Amino acid sequence: MNTTFSAAAPKALIELKTALFNGFQSFNQLKHIHARLIRAGFDQNNYLLNLLLKFTLNNFNNPNYAKLVFNQAQEPNIFLYNTMIRGLVSNNCFHQSIEFFHGMRNEGFLPNNFTFPFLLKSCTRLSDFELGVKAHGLVVKGGFDYDVFVKTGLVCFYARCGFLDDAHQMFDDIPEKNVVSWTAIITGYIDFGKFKEAIDLFRRSLEMGLSPDSFTLVRVLSACSRVGDVSAGEWIHGYAVEMGIGRNVFVNTGLVDMYAKCGEMAKAREVFDEMVEKDVVSWSAMIQGYAVNGLPKEALEVFYTMQRENVRPDCYSMVGVLSACSRLGALEVGEWASKLMDMNEFLSNAVLGTALIDMYAKCGRMVSAWEIFKQMLVKKDRVIWNAVLSGLAMHGYVKSAFCCFSQVEKLGIKPNGNTFIGLLCACTHAGLVDEGRKYFQSMTHLYSLEPSIEHYGCMVDLLGRAGLLDEAHSLIESMPMKANAVVWGALLSGCRLHRDTKLAEHVLKQLIELEPWNSGNYVHLSNIYASNNKWDDSEKIRSSMNERRMQKIPAYSWIEIDGIVHEFLVGDTYHPISDNIYVKLGELSKELREVGYVPRTEYVLFDIEEEEKEHFVGCHSEKLALAYGLLSTKPGDGIRIIKNLRICGDCHTFFKLVSMITGREIILRDNNRFHCFLEGSCSCGDYW
């Protein structure tokens, strides 16, 4: 019997070795081989157990079964411990990998160059700085401090823990640096916001003759996008093409993202169109790029193409789509797009939920935004509260916005700068100067928040609208930072509203110094002169604009009908039913005159005859959109219009009267606020 067993043993051993080398098709097959090891008496053969552990951890990602196998070993060696530590790290079981390290030390085994890289990775991921430093000491004692993989592990460890100087020292000590070590130090600098330094390190790596992989290129491209260094990004683009990795889907997606974040959408589109393979990440980069760069229609066009390609949207593409819909007021499109994902995905994801709340709020459906807010399954964080608070403020629900803020305080959520921007906007919309002052002062006194330039801009806007121009000007002069064009522009709006030409001229000088090529500054002053019948001065401004070849920003209005967004410009005649639109406008004007409407021609910026002025003011883009909406919807249906600039006083009066004679609710959002017209009144209050 013994002779038969001993003769069969080598054969069984060979079969088991062959099976372990060839690998397994399923986890059940692995367990079958494990059982054969036990039956054949080879379950204490550390070499065979090591092979079994590698397959269990690396191929089937089953750390629990691996621990059962390991625990059966009566005399585990350093190789088994290293396999367990490495495999557990690969399966993100960092605490357990450290436990095995301590167990190895208790058994008297010294870690080696295969142990340290994975131990250090666990310390890095768990931010266990104390153990990492001890591991560094063992590295030096064991003589492994010149091993490139161990040293790279130390670079990652110190960099991730925020000790960049120590990380760089470790990096400099590596005698022969490889792609992994260069990527480690570059990533360390990127993670701590030192983007320019990361780009310089990448240049150095190329000078050393290194060939970076796609991961390194993508990380450096992200650094370029963070600092807006499009020239460095273009250089990397050229390098990628030269090295033959220009068709790599990850590199191309990184290029699209970089160009988009640097505002170079034409270049982003060029790279995107040339991509042979596109994944959902590359589609999302294009959609978000267009949305963020103020091209919402293009964002939706890419999304429609993505749908035709049967690519399911992810969180990031959906956020981009909802942002585009918010900008266009495309409520129907936003609702259709949101139904492509399960509603629970929105309610259980703070980013998605916030985007949906924002879309509903900016499309004039604050009730729907509030419903989504109430149904959120995740804990409502500050970002979600800020979204709903800003939405309420935008719609003029000032008391509700203030109640939201009170609830935020009761819940112990610390407000941030965005919270106070929402509150100050609410005060501005309602003309609540005293409340605005109170909230502004409480930032510093109660919440230890230093007001940013955006908060000063809100206060200047609030004071300027209230006619407190001197106080607004004094606030600008007392700011701890230099006022930007937005702050001065807010004061200029107040000057226009209250026709303070003298102060406006002073403000304009500041604006010209800050933005010498911004036509809006000149147009604004020209408006002030025109409204005061100073036509010669107005003409001088316009002549100056012509000499500089400057053009006024065109006014656009959008209206969504049956899921299609229609765009109108002032005096537009390009729409397929343009003739009908102008006929409808004529009919409306006739009806409105019968109830006392007189066109407010002071908003026309040219010294021309009164009859011509009425013609110009009568074909503003929002009026064209309104006429089209009345033609294209059923009596009683609400109408929603978005305008990229501020609505003029004449259009405001016109919309109020149209809402009265048609019995329609008309919601118009300009670049300043929501205007909800119903039965001849407006929720924002008539401040003209």
Instruction: Annotate 523-564 with three-state secondary structure.
Output: HHHHHHHHHCCCHHHHHHHHHHHHHCCCCCCCCEEEEEECCE
Residue written as tokens 């009859």? 611
Angle, helices 179-191 vs 214-227, to 10°: value is: 20
Decide if 96 contacts 63 (C-beta within 8 A): yes
Supply the DSSP string of 158-188, one letter for each residue.
HHHTT-HHHHHHHHHT-SS--HHHHHHHHHH
Q: What is the pLDDT of residue 1?
A: 32
For residue 111, give both structure tokens: 């870690």
Decide if 306 contacts 340 (C-beta within 8 A): no
Decide if 284 contacts 311 (C-beta within 8 A): no
**Weakly modelled stretches of the chain, pLDDT under 50:** 1-8, 605-615, 685-688
Decide if 532 contacts 501 (C-beta within 8 A): yes
Query: Cβ–Cβ contacts within 10 Å for residue 107, how many?
Result: 12
Nearest Cα neighbor of 322 from 303, 309, 306 is 303
Query: Cβ–Cβ contacts within 10 Å for residue 144, how many?
Result: 19
43: CB partners within 8 A, 6+ apart: 37, 49, 72
Mean residue pLDDT across the chain? 87
Q: What is the pLDDT of residue 357?
A: 97
Tell me which amino acid residue 212 is: P
Domains of the chain, first to last? 451-548 (1.25.40.10), 556-682 (no CATH)
Angle, helices 195-207 vs 230-242, to 10°: value is: 30
Mode of pairing for the β-strands spanning 639-643 and 556-561: antiparallel
Decide if 256 contacts 271 (C-beta within 8 A): yes
Query: Which run of H or E residues covers position 558?
Result: strand 556-561
> How confident is the model over 235-271, as pLDDT tens digits?
999 999 988 887 889 999 999 999 999 999 999 999 9
* Dist. CA 186–CA 191, nearest whole Å: 9
Q: Determine the Cα angle at 307 with ends 303 and 311, to 5°.
A: 105
Q: What is the pLDDT of residue 16?
A: 66
Mode of pairing for the β-strands spanning 564-569 and 681-682: unpaired
Q: What is the pLDDT of residue 8?
A: 46
* Dist. CA 359–CA 369, nearest whole Å: 8
Residue written as tokens 């059966």? 72
Helix (H, G, I), strand (E, B) or coil at 413: coil
For residue 596, give both structure tokens: 């006392």
